[in-house]
Amino acid sequence: MTRRTLLIGAGAGFVGVLLASCTPEPVPTPTRTPSPSPQPTGDTIVPLAFARSAWTTDPFSLGAASFTPVGVQKSVRGSLAQPVVDRVFFAGEATDDEQSGTLEAALRSGRRAAAEVRDASGPGERIAVIGAGLAGAAAVSILAGTDREVTVFEARERVGGRIMSHVDEKEWPFPAQLGGWLHSAQDAEWIEQLNSLGIRSAVLASSAWRSREGVVDPVSTETVASAVVTAQELPSDVSLAQALSDAGSDLEDPALAALLAAVAAAAGADADELSSWFPPSLPAAEPIAPLADLDAVVRDLLGDVRVSLSSPIARIVYDDAGVSLAMATGESLSFDRVIVTAPLGVLQSEGIEFSPALPFGHRGAIAALGMGRIETVWLRFEEPLVESEAEIWHVVGGDALIRTWMNLAPATGEAVLVGVVGGAAAEEFAALDDDGVLEAAIASLAPFMQADAPG
């Protein structure tokens, strides 16, 4: 275990932060990282618990959420969703052309693909589902009651995919969410799932913007929205960054950069990568944060259908009579049809080989869409680092790696801070070891800690 003390200038005084972490090397997959042991207090502030993600390098996602790059039509998602010879079906957030990159999209896509399979198949058929994330589980929940014999193959040793609730009652008063968790009041199907399990949520309703110099005037998402409206009149697509620049916004403006960091943390891509014809949803003004084990939603949808864990599928051989799935171990199994829910990142890296090759429409969509990067860090302290009623913090200016924070203290009474980062910054985050993430997190929070410091 390494142990370092970081001193952050805080106006007239200093806030001493003791960093402690256990893992010296970058982690290859999202980890439920053991928390640093509590250390003596005094002049030091000690995180009691720490958890971080690393989806960018995770071999079974290779990114966090799909996005529509500049120059690409969102309709390519419809091509990806097309069944192939009524034997190979596709689901997963990337196949949804309305709310791609979200939990709502994953849920809807699984239900859509299951309905397609149900219509194409007869009772008694053997259906394989690749992936036990939300899309796969949603598909299973529809097919389970239809006299089909359903088997799920999941590469990881757990279900949930890009939902990953770190449950540890000793360390966390509610689970630390290392994957998807926030939603808006419009996400009707996801909300229905949460309600059916009685999952409680907190609405994060207020925000604060701070630089090292103090309070900063917020930049409204209206700035981005109106630049997009103008860019959508152009004869060809331009990036969100170009649209803003054309509208007279200064991309060097630190407050706009903080807003774009929040956009990247939701979309997984930076403004120079994102399409303005098909822009991502802007961060919800009042995101809703569930405070429970979200893996339970997936387990509930899966019911008692058999899930074969630690079973990555390496190859799908298909024709108009059926499909054969080759496991990474070399074993092959035959099915009548298959629903593929593996993330776009896996399809792009040819983590699953198709024989024959998929139609051009599918391959074109896989190549054209972008796989975004989002990473997160959860910190719990004994007491709030900063007395602030604001629930979303935007860090303005400086060289902070993590510019978007959620302060769960006002809603829950627990001193939990959640940092979220997207785009190129998420790649940088993913390459850091736990010490580096903790150090970057505390350094990023400096403007807020300074604001609260005496003197």
Ligand X SMILES: Cc1cc2nc3c(=O)[nH]c(=O)nc-3n(C[C@H](O)[C@H](O)[C@H](O)COP(=O)(O)OP(=O)(O)OC[C@H]3O[C@@H](n4cnc5c(N)ncnc54)[C@H](O)[C@@H]3O)c2cc1C
Selected binder of ligand X within 33, 57, 102, 151 (CB under 6 A)? 102
Token code pair at residue 272: 């120079």
Token code pair at residue 11: 């106006």
Selected binder of ligand X within 35, 79, 165, 341 (CB under 6 A)? 341
Residues 6+ apart with CB under 8 A from 243: 227, 228, 230, 231, 276
CB of 287 to ligand X, least distance (A): 7
Q: Which is nearer to ligand X, 131 or 423 (CB)?
A: 131
Residue 218 DSSP code? P
Token code pair at residue 434: 């736990």
Q: Does 351 interact with ligand X (rule: CB under 6 A)? A: yes
Q: What are the E-state strand segments in 292-410?
A: 307-308, 313-319, 322-327, 332-335, 337-340, 353-355, 370-372, 374-381, 392-395, 404-407
Q: Does 93 interact with ligand X (rule: CB under 6 A)? A: yes
CB of 420 to ligand X, least distance (A): 7
Residues 6+ apart with CB under 8 A from 250: 256
User: Looking at 3-11, 101-109, 248-256, 315-323, which segment touches ligand X (CB under 6 A)?
Assistant: 101-109
User: Looking at 74-82, 173-181, 210-218, 244-252, which segment touches ligand X (CB under 6 A)?
Assistant: 173-181
User: Rounded CA gap, 146 and 70, in Å?
Assistant: 41
Token code pair at residue 302: 């899966």
Selected binder of ligand X within 15, 18, 103, 267 (CB under 6 A)? 103
User: Looking at 77-85, 119-127, 178-186, 403-411, which segment touches ligand X (CB under 6 A)?
Assistant: 178-186
CB 39 within 8 A of CB 20: yes
Judged by CB under 6 A, the chain residues 390 through 449 that form the site for ligand X are none
* H or E element at residue 289: strand 288-290
Q: Does 237 interact with ligand X (rule: CB under 6 A)? A: no
User: Looking at 69-77, 154-162, 237-245, 246-254, which segment touches ligand X (CB under 6 A)?
Assistant: 154-162
Q: Does 346 interact with ligand X (rule: CB under 6 A)? A: yes
Evaluated on CA atoms 236, 427, 59, 107, the torsion sign reads negative
User: Rounded CA gap, 394 and 119, in Å?
Assistant: 48
194, HSE (Cβ side, Cα atoms, 13 Å): 23
Per-residue binder mask for ligand X (CB under 6 A), 27-66, x = binder: --------------------------x-x----xx--xx-
- The binding site for ligand X (CB under 6 A) comprises 53, 55, 60-61, 64-65, 92-93, 101-103, 106, 130-136, 153-156, 161-163, 179-183, 312-313, 341-343, 346, 351-352, 374, 376
